[in-house]
Structure 1
Amino acid sequence: MSASEPVARVLIDSALPQLDRLFDYAVPERLDAIAVPGVRVKVPLRSAGRIAEGYLVERAATSEAKGELARLEEVVSEARVLTPEVRALTRRLADRAAGSANDLVRLAVPRRQVRVEKAWLAAGPVAALALPEPVHPSGYGAGLTDAVSRGARIALHAVPRLVQAQGTWIGHWAASLAALAVTTLASGRSAILVVPDYRDQEQLETALAAIAPEGHVQRMDARQSNPDRYRAFLACLEGAPRIVVGNRSAVYAPVQDLGLIALWDDGDPLHAEPLSPGVHARDAALVRQEQSGCALVVAGHTRSTEVQRLVELGWFEAHEPERHAAPRVIPTAEQDDGGERMAAIARIPSSAWRIARDALEHGPVLVQVARPGNSAAAARRGEPVAVTVDAGRTAEDLGRAFPRTRVIVADGERPVQRVDGRPALVIATRGAEPIADGGYRAVLLLDGPRMLSRESLRVAEDCLRWWSNAVALAAEHATTVLVGVGGAPARALVTWRQELLAASELEDRRRLRFPPAVRTATIASDLPTVRQVLHELDELPHVDALEPEPVDEGRFRAVVRFDYGAGRAVAEHLRAAVIRNATGRRSVAREGGSRPRARLQVRLDGPEAFG
C-alpha cells in the first residue's frame, strides 16, 4: 500500500475461529468511494493464496499492522448490509458465548440474492409511509403502554383467552403485542416481534393486519424463500420505521431506531438456536435492549425460570392483566369411581367424561395428549409400544365413548391450525393444538404424570407451559380438567399463578447450583483436552466443574458451572482454548502412527448441560 491509501478493517466470512477478528486492507483509489462500512467485499488471504469474502466494518487513516497491507480486491455491492448496531450486537453476543461473531452474522445477514439486491438499489429511497394512530392493548391499563414508551424491561403475564381480529380468532396475547408494536410505530420507532413457530406468527400477522397500515410490517422467518427473506431484510435497511415479525433470528433484524423487542413464550425450546454459538433469542434480545435502550417485553401464559430470576433481581417489571378472572381448572385423579361405562371405554375419569359430554352439546372439546402416532396399531404389528397412550389410540377410544361425534387429530404429522365451532373432539399433542372458533367448550389435559416423568431439569416448567397454553384456548367460563397431577404444578395451574412454580423451581436450583441460578458451559473433546481446559478454568473464582463423562468413542464431555460475574473470564478462557485447538498441530502422535487432533467444542448456556 502507498502512504496515501486509506485502510479498511474487514471481518472475513470464515468458520475458522482464529479468523474471528478484523483484518486491515489498503483501499485502492478505484474503490475509495464505494468501500464504506457495511458493504460486502472480497479480499486476498495471503496464507491460503485465495480470495475470501467478508464485510467492511470500519475505515481508518492508518494501520498498526506491520509490513505492507494487501489491497481490497473488490466491493461486491454498494448495499450496506451489516449495520453498526447489528455488528456490535453480534460481537458482544459472540464474546459472551465464547463463539465467533461470524457465525452470528450469518444468522443476521441472509445470503445475497443478486437480482433482488440490484432491483432494490435501482429503486432508490422509498417514500415515507404515514404513521398509524396508537393502539392500546386491552386488559392492562395505561401502565403497560407507559412502561414500553420509557424503554422498560417487562415480564408480561398474558390474558388466557381468545379474541377476534377481522373475524378470525387469535390469542389475546397476539392482539396485545400487535397493539404495543403499532403504538411504538406511531411514535416513529421500529418494533421486532419474535415467536417460536409459524402458528404463533400467523396469529400475530392476523392481529397486525387489523390495526397496522399496509407496508409497515415485514415478515422474516425460515419458511420464506431466499429471495423473499432477502427482500424483507433489505426493506429493514431503508430507514423507515418497521414492524418485523419472525422466529428467533428476527431478533437481529437491521431496523432503524428500535423502540420495542417483544418475545412470546420464551420457554419454548424453538427459541434456542441450534447453530454455533447457540445464542438463545431471549439472551440476544436482552443484549440488544441494553445496547439500544428500547423496551423489551417477554410475554407468556407462564414465566420461565430465567425471567423469574430477572424479575427477582429487579431487572424486569412484572405486569399482570387487570380484573381478569382466572380460568376454571379442576384437578382429578386418573381414575375415579363414577361408574360411567363410556368413561371406562375412553379410559378417562368419569368426571372428565361428563364435562366433555356436556360441553360437546355446545362446541368442540380439546383433549391434550403427550405424543403423536398410534401405539395400538404398532402393537398389532408386533412393534414396541410406549407406556404413553398416544393421539391415535386416544382418538379411537374417545370415538367409541362419544359415538357420532367428529374426531380430529392434530399432531406433527397431521398439522391442523384451526377448527370451526361445531361439536368435535380435537385430540392434539402438546404444542399442536388448533385454535377453535369461539374457543373450546372444555379442555381435558391427559398424560400429565407421563409428561412429568420425562428426565429433564425443566420438566415441571415445561409441563406447566404446555398446559397453560392449552387452557388459554378455552372459551370464557369453560372448564379444564387436569388429570392425575398434584403438587406444585397442579396448584400453579389451578390458581393460575404460574410465577409461584417459577419461583420455587428457581430456589431449588440456587441450592443445587443449577441454571439459571448459575451459568454453564459444556466442553467436549478427547479426555486429555477436556482435562487441560478444566485445569485452566480451576484458576478462576466461582467456577466448578463436574467430572468428564464419555459421550462416544474417544470423546468426553464436561459441564462447568460459574457465577454470572465470572462469565466474561470463563468465555475468554474457553475462546482462547478453542483457537489454540484449531491452530495447533493437525495430528498427535500415537504408537504406530498418528491420529487427527480431536476438535474442541464449547457451548455456553446450552440446554444439553442438565437435560
Structure 2
Amino acid sequence: MNPGAAYGEQGSLLEVPVVARTVRSPGVTDPVARVLVDGPLPHLDRPFDYLVRAEHADNAVVGSRVHVRFAGQDRQGFVCERRSTTEHPGELAPLRRAASPLPVLSPEVLQLCRAVAERYAGTLSDVLRLAVPPRHATTEKSVLEKDLGEPPALPEATDAPEGSAWAPYRAGPAFLEHLAIGESPRAAWSALPGPWQPAVAQAVRAVRASGRGALVVLPTTRDVDAVLAAIAEELPQEPVARLVADDGQARRYRAFLRVLLGQAQVVVGTRAAAFAPVQDLGLVAVIDDGDDALAEPRAPYPHARQVLLLRAEQSGAAVLIGGWSRTVEAHLLVERGWAQPLEAARELVRERAPRIEAPTELDLAREGPAAAARIPHPAWELAKRALQGAPVRGGPPVTPGPVLVQVPRSGYVPAVACAGCREPARCAQCHGPVGLGRAGSTPACQWCAHLAANWSCPECGASRLRSVRIGSDRTAEELGRAFPQVPVIVSGAKASHGIVETVDDKPRIVVATPGAEPVAEGGFAAALLLDASVMTTRPELWASSVAMQRWMAAAALVRSASAGGRVMLLGRPAPGPAQALVRWDPAGFAARELAERTELRFPPAARLAAVDGTRESVHSILGLIGEVPGLDVLGPVERSEAVPEQAEPARWRALVRTPLRHGGELTAALRRAAAVRSARKEPGSLRIQVDPADLW
C-alpha cells in the first residue's frame, strides 16, 4: 500500500502528497526501519517507519524481530527494510527493543507470506504469525553459541537413487532423474497400496544429489515420523529438521533455527512447515493432500497444498503432490498441464490392491430382514475367515491376521433420536446433539455435557430414545461379544488408549476412526468400512472426496488380493465413490468430481469466498467489493444452525465467486473492502474465507 494513502471520512482511499525526507541518527547508517507491525486491523496492514538509534543499530537488521510502540501499545514486528529516507511527515518514533540480530524472516518467506495473504484475502500479519514461530530466547542463545560445524557433504549426482520404489510407476525413474540433474518436474502422484514412505525418501535423495533442499509436508505427526525413518535409511548422514507444532515451543524453534542457519536443508513437518526457510529449495512435497489436517483453522485459513504451490511458482522448485487418493485440486493441475500424472499400470494396481466389495441392498436381499443390519452376515463371515485364515469361496489358504474395522464416529452412541417420531434429540440448553457416553449412562449433550435425564420429545412428547449413530466404542463392544476369544483394540484420538500406531500380525480386531488406523505387520487380512453413508451424505461440497480419501487410506493397509486381502464397504454408500473404490480408480473419480464442480462453478474450478458475520457486516462487505469481472453473489442467507464451540457464531453467510482467471481481482477487492470497513470502525463480527472447507 502506498504509505501516502489515507482513508477519508467515508472510508474511501485518498492519495495525499508524498514527500521523502532524509533522516539522521548519530552513528547509524540507514536509520529508518520499515516495520511490519503485528496488528489485527486490515486498514493498517502495511509497513510503518521507525527510527533506529545507535543501541539498536546492530540488532535491527532486515528480517529481525523488533518491538515498537503502536497505537498506544507495545507490539512485535519484523524489519522488512532499512533506509535513510521516510515519507512520514512527523517525527519518527524510535524502536523500543531489538533483542536479537537473527533475521528470522527471510526475503523469500516474506514474499511467500505476501502471496498467501493476497491469495486468501487476509492480512500479512496473520500469515506472518503462521510462518515464523514464537521466539524462545534460551534456545536461540544456545543455538547461536554452539559450534554447529560444517554441514555434511552432499551426495554426488552419480549417487542418485536407482529408484526401486519408483520403478512401478510409468514416469517414476524419469522423475528422479530430472530431480537429480537439477531440474524441477511437477507431478501428481497416485501411490500404490502399501508403504509410500520409501518413494518420498528417494525423491529427497535425488534432489539432494543436485545440491538443493527439500520440504515435505504431511498431515500428522506419525506420518512425519515414518518419513523421517525412511529418509534416515536412505540418507543416514543427512541432517533433517522435524517441524511439528506438537513438539513444543523450544524444540520447534530449535529446528526452525537449524533450517534458517543452513544446517539442515531437508525439512519434514506438518502444515506450518510449508513456510520453513529452506535454502536453495529444490523440491516441495505434500502427501495425502486431501486430509483436513492440512487446512489451517486460523485466519486467513490457508491450505498447506496451496502454500507449497505458491512457493514452487516463486522459487522454481519441483512439486510432488498426492498419495493413495487424488484430490480434485491435484487433478485440476493435471488437466491444465501444470503437473504430470505419476501412475502405475492398471495390471499392477489390480495386483497390489486388495479385493474390494460394496454389496448393495439387492446383493444382500437373500439375507432377508438381516440385510438391513449395520454389519450383515457376509461381513461377519469375512471377519471370521480372516481371523482364522480360512480360504474364501474355495480359494487357496491364507495366513490369518488382524481385521480392521473403520467407524466414522468415535464414542459410544454419539447421537440418539426419539423412539416414536425419529426426531433427533437436542439439548434443551444449547440445542446440541444428545448422545450416550457409555453403556448404561445418562444421555447428555455432546456440546455442553448437560444431562438429559428427563428428556421428552418436543414434537410428539415421547420420552424413549433410540440410537441413530453408533460410535467406535459401541462397535468394539458388539464385536467383542461376537468374537469372545479375539482381542479387540480401539484406536482414536478420543479412545481410552489414544491412537494405536502399529499392531502385530496376530489375529485381532482393530476398531479405528478415520485417520487413526494403525499399520499392521504384514498388512491387515481384511477390513470392514462401516456406516459409509455417514460420510457421503454429509452436506459439505467435498463429502464424497473426503469419503474416498478416508476409505482408500484404510484399504491401502490391507494385504493384496493375491495374498487374500479383502475389503467390504458397508452402509449404503453413494454409488460414485463406492464404485471408484471397488475399481481403485482415484484419478477417474477426481476427474468426474472436477467435471461436476466445473459445471456448477465451485472450487477448485472457480475462485469462491464465504463471507460470514452479522447481517449488517455481510451487506456492508458486499456493498464495498465494487466491480469484479464475472462476479456472482449467492445470498446472503441466514445460517440455520449455530457453529459449536464459538461464543458468537456467524448468523449470515454470502458466497461470492468469479472465474479462476479473475480470482486475484476478487481477493484484492475483498481485502480492500475489509480495510475500508476496518477504517470506518463498523461494528459486527466478520470472517472472510476463500475456498472454505465447510461449504454447504
Distance in 1 (alpha carbons) for counterparts of 2:224 and 2:437: 35
Cα deviation code 1:484-525 (max 9, x no counterpart): 446221221111111111111111112222222211112233
Q: CA deviation at 1:269?
A: 0.9
* 1:277 aligned residue: 300
Which residue identity lines up with residue 543 of structure 1 in the other structure?
Answer: L
- Correspondence for 1:300 among 301, 318, 323: 323
Cα deviation code 1:421-477 (max 9, x no counterpart): 100111212221111111001112221123222222111111111111111101233
- Correspondence for 1:55 among 64, 78, 82: 78
Which residue identity lines up with residue 176 of structure 2 in the other structure?
Answer: T
* 1:168 aligned residue: none
Distance in 2 (alpha carbons) for counterparts of 1:257 and 1:385: 60
CA 1:333 to 1:599, structure 2 compared with 1: closer, same or farther past 3 Å? Answer: closer
Alignment partner of 1:499 is 2:587: yes
Alignment partner of 1:583 is 2:679: yes
User: Is the 2:281–2:315 Cα contact (8 Å) retained in structure 1?
Assistant: yes
- Correspondence for 1:157 among 190, 194, 197: 190
- Correspondence for 1:387 among 460, 468, 472: 468
Which residue identity lines up with residue 190 of structure 2 in the other structure?
Answer: H
- Correspondence for 2:383 among 335, 356, 375: 356
Alignment partner of 1:14 is 2:101: no
* 2:359 aligned residue: 332
* 2:659 aligned residue: 563
Q: CA deviation at 1:344?
A: 8.7
CA 1:386 to 1:297, structure 2 compared with 1: closer, same or farther past 3 Å? Answer: farther
* 2:274 aligned residue: 251
Ranges in structure 1 where 5+ consecutive residues have no aligned partner: 162-171, 587-596
Cα deviation code 1:514-564 (max 9, x no counterpart): 222211112233333322322343522211111112347895221111122
* 1:144 aligned residue: 175
Distance in 1 (alpha carbons) for counterparts of 2:500 and 2:184: 38
Q: Secondary structure at the match of 1:367?
A: strand
User: Is the 2:402–2:509 Cα contact (8 Å) retained in structure 1?
Assistant: yes
CA 1:386 to 1:82, structure 2 compared with 1: closer, same or farther past 3 Å? Answer: farther
CA 1:50 to 1:360, structure 2 compared with 1: closer, same or farther past 3 Å? Answer: closer
Alignment partner of 1:408 is 2:489: yes
* 2:424 aligned residue: none
Ranges in structure 2 where 5+ consecutive residues have no aligned partner: 1-22, 389-399, 414-435, 444-464, 643-647
Distance in 2 (alpha carbons) for counterparts of 1:454 and 1:403: 35
Q: Secondary structure at the match of 1:266?
A: coil
Q: Which has the higher strand share?
A: 1
* 1:531 aligned residue: 619
Distance in 2 (alpha carbons) for counterparts of 1:255 and 1:529: 40
Comparing 124-133 with 192-201, greater Cα deviation is found at 124-133
Q: CA deviation at 1:8?
A: 2.1
* 2:686 aligned residue: 600
Which residue identity lines up with residue 567 of structure 2 in the other structure?
Answer: T
Cα deviation code 1:258-286 (max 9, x no counterpart): 11111011111111101111111111011
- Correspondence for 2:92 among 69, 84, 89: 69
CA 1:287 to 1:318, structure 2 compared with 1: closer, same or farther past 3 Å? Answer: same
User: Is the 1:345–1:397 Cα contact (8 Å) retained in structure 2?
Assistant: no
User: Is the 2:374–2:530 Cα contact (8 Å) retained in structure 1?
Assistant: no
Which residue identity lines up with residue 481 of structure 2 in the other structure?
Answer: R
Q: CA deviation at 1:38?
A: 1.2
After superposition, the CA RMSD in angstroms is: 2.6
Q: Percent identity?
A: 40
* 1:479 aligned residue: 566
Distance in 2 (alpha carbons) for counterparts of 1:86 and 1:126: 25
CA 1:486 to 1:73, structure 2 compared with 1: closer, same or farther past 3 Å? Answer: closer
User: Is the 1:44–1:52 Cα contact (8 Å) retained in structure 2?
Assistant: yes
Q: Secondary structure at the match of 2:86?
A: coil
Cα deviation code 1:354-385 (max 9, x no counterpart): 32222212111111122122228757446355
User: Is the 1:5–1:26 Cα contact (8 Å) retained in structure 2?
Assistant: no
Cα deviation code 1:208-258 (max 9, x no counterpart): 232232451111111112110100000001224522111100000111011
Q: CA deviation at 1:74?
A: 3.2
Cα deviation code 1:323-361 (max 9, x no counterpart): 6232221221367367699x9998533333332222212
User: Is the 1:218–1:245 Cα contact (8 Å) retained in structure 2?
Assistant: yes
CA 1:125 to 1:440, structure 2 compared with 1: closer, same or farther past 3 Å? Answer: closer
Q: CA deviation at 1:599?
A: 3.6
* 2:634 aligned residue: 546
Which residue identity lines up with residue 407 of structure 1 in the other structure?
Answer: V
CA 1:340 to 1:417, structure 2 compared with 1: closer, same or farther past 3 Å? Answer: farther
Q: CA deviation at 1:310?
A: 1.6
Comparing 463-472 with 195-204, greater Cα deviation is found at 195-204
Distance in 2 (alpha carbons) for counterparts of 1:599 and 1:480: 47
Q: CA deviation at 1:567?
A: 2.0
User: Is the 1:126–1:238 Cα contact (8 Å) retained in structure 2?
Assistant: no
Comparing 361-370 with 26-35, greater Cα deviation is found at 26-35
Alignment partner of 1:450 is 2:537: no
Distance in 1 (alpha carbons) for counterparts of 2:119 and 2:437: 49
CA 1:241 to 1:396, structure 2 compared with 1: closer, same or farther past 3 Å? Answer: closer
CA 1:393 to 1:82, structure 2 compared with 1: closer, same or farther past 3 Å? Answer: same
* 2:546 aligned residue: 462
* 1:218 aligned residue: 241
- Correspondence for 1:42 among 59, 63, 67: 67
Distance in 2 (alpha carbons) for counterparts of 1:369 and 1:555: 32
* 1:591 aligned residue: none
Cα deviation code 1:10-66 (max 9, x no counterpart): 111222323321122333344434432111123343xx3444321111222323333
CA 1:371 to 1:585, structure 2 compared with 1: closer, same or farther past 3 Å? Answer: closer
Distance in 1 (alpha carbons) for counterparts of 2:303 and 2:600: 23
Comparing 316-325 with 95-104, greater Cα deviation is found at 316-325
Distance in 2 (alpha carbons) for counterparts of 1:545 and 1:345: 43
- Correspondence for 1:2 among 24, 27, 30: 24
* 2:160 aligned residue: 134
Comparing 411-420 with 204-213, greater Cα deviation is found at 204-213
Q: CA deviation at 1:580?
A: 2.1
Distance in 2 (alpha carbons) for counterparts of 1:262 and 1:403: 45
* 1:166 aligned residue: none
Q: CA deviation at 1:104?
A: 1.2
* 2:257 aligned residue: 234
User: Is the 1:488–1:501 Cα contact (8 Å) retained in structure 2?
Assistant: yes
Cα deviation code 1:564-590 (max 9, x no counterpart): 22222222221122222222247xxxx
CA 1:310 to 1:344, structure 2 compared with 1: closer, same or farther past 3 Å? Answer: closer
User: Is the 2:502–2:519 Cα contact (8 Å) retained in structure 1?
Assistant: yes
Alignment partner of 1:188 is 2:211: yes
User: Is the 1:338–1:351 Cα contact (8 Å) retained in structure 2?
Assistant: no
Distance in 1 (alpha carbons) for counterparts of 2:234 and 2:671: 46
